[in-house]
Structure 1
């Protein structure tokens, strides 16, 4: 399941597999504890799903389209761990 989460994250976003894996493990571990304590599994599923829906809604409302080479270079530099040379190369590609 966690491997599927990481793979899907990589396919959709191209990044964030470590974060997705850590979150999936935490959600699973806490879910198992709560089910063992008597919680309804369907109620537990609704909580994270509601959170995902809110996050997607927030990100969609606050997303900024990048169009200039300078903006692409900024994003690429962040993805390249601050390496401006790599960021600029990606922006020019």
Structure 2
């Protein structure tokens, strides 16, 4: 399927397509705004992690076109494809489709049941699994519960 500019730019460029969407009610319009913010999040996070101000970087990249973006490694605004900052199109598309699918599921779900953590329970064993340890997760990453 090819490549797209990396660094969150490909997702940011899809925001313009949201301008055409008008919800049937206030809730749907809020949903569009949530998606807009979610599409900004990868670039904002990359910029923040690089020590830049994420909101400013997002705004400057939005003012550009095509593969113009922020190269966090060099801290330069440039053509990211020419700079080699790329993502596979299929990976970016699939991530966006999966996020939309989960969002749709959450919007149509009327109730969610979750387990209330007990006081003082700082075990982040990942849930699932048998009681007394052997929870999910990788060894050495806080996921083996009572095994350590």
Structure 1 length as normaliser, TM-score?
0.41
Structure with bigger gyration radius: 2
Where is the helix percentage greater, Structure 1 or Structure 2? 1
Structure 2 length as normaliser, TM-score?
0.29
Where is the strand percentage greater, Structure 1 or Structure 2? 2
